[in-house]
Amino acid sequence: MTSITIALSKGRIFDDTAPLLKAAGVIALDDPETSRKLILTTTREDVRLIIVRASDVPTYVQYGSADMGIAGKDVLLEHGGAGLYQPLDLNIACCRMMVAVPDDFDYESAVRQGARLRVATKYLQTAREHFAKKGIHVDLIKLYGSMELAPLVGLADAIVDLVSSGNTLKANQLKAVEEIMPISARLVINQAALKLKYKTIQPLLEAFSAAVKS
């Protein structure tokens, strides 16, 4: 029997992925929110799940410790995608990558004047590429979370972050001024595993694909 390991993060990715996994007959035997187990067996003897940090999913799949994984496009862009086959947009965990500034900051005029902006973000690659394309001069400051705080305490003029409802921006007197791109979660597959385990992976891929469409 060929066994498949799927890497995913708990929280919104796990919640949104559960119905897709179920369509392929995969139901975790423990709840990752309450269990401390990092390896979850499932209703399918040949499929197990490993629970990792969202930003670590591509790494586990790249090195073949997981055959497949589910990761946000934001995470995949920062990782670079080496060794990963990305066959399917799962259309889950959707949000938008945005530039945001304090309510009272005139972003348009700062850009027009060619001001050098300090931008705090977890998404260095994506931010660098975006501002370079627009010809906006930036100093990027790497943060690991809670980017919304940075402009409030003078660390940055702007942030690049994910926005879904917009409530976090609003609660911190920030406004979105530019959309960089829409974001959703993707299925990623280790390129070598795809070849070696094709007979097991292909039906899983088809089940996910059908579940996404329905």
Q: Which is nearer to ligand PRT, 38 or 115 (CB)?
A: 38
For ligand PRT, which is the closer residue by CB, 157 or 161? 161
Our CB check for ligand PRT shows the closer of 89 and 129 to be 89
- Please list, in sequence order, all residues whose beta carbon lies within 8 angstroms of the beta carbon of residue 188, skipping any fewer than 6 positions away: 57, 58, 61, 68, 69, 70, 71, 76, 81, 84, 85, 86
Binding mask 7-26 for ligand PRT (x = CB under 6 A): --x-xxx-------------
Q: Site size for ligand PRT, by CB under 6 A?
A: 23
| Residue 47 or 90 with smaller CB distance to ligand PRT | 90
CB of 163 to ligand PRT, least distance (A): 4
Q: What is the footprint of ligand PRT within residues 142-201 (CB under 6 A)?
A: 145, 161-168, 183, 185
Residues 67, 62: Cα–Cα separation, whole Å: 9
The nearest distance, CB 71 to ligand PRT, in angstroms, is 7
The residue (of 104 and 144) whose beta carbon lies closer to ligand PRT is 144
Q: At what angle do helices 12-23 and 198-213 cross, to 10 degrees?
A: 110
* Binders of ligand PRT in range 46-105 (CB under 6 A): 53-55, 72, 74-75, 93, 95
- Tokens 């005029």, residue located: 109
Own/partner contacts of 174-178, CB < 8 Å, gap of 24 or more, are 174/100, 174/101, 174/102, 174/103, 174/148, 175/100, 175/101, 175/102, 175/103, 176/96, 176/98, 176/99, 176/100, 177/98, 177/99, 177/100, 177/101, 177/107, 177/108, 178/98, 178/99, 178/107
CB of 124 to ligand PRT, least distance (A): 14
What is the C-alpha separation between 194 and 214, in angstroms, rounded?
Answer: 25
Q: Which of residues 99-138 bind ligand PRT (CB under 6 A)?
A: none
- Residue whose CB is less far from ligand PRT, 3 or 146: 146
Binding stretches for ligand PRT (CB under 6 A): 9, 11-13, 53-55, 72, 74-75, 93, 95, 145, 161-168, 183, 185
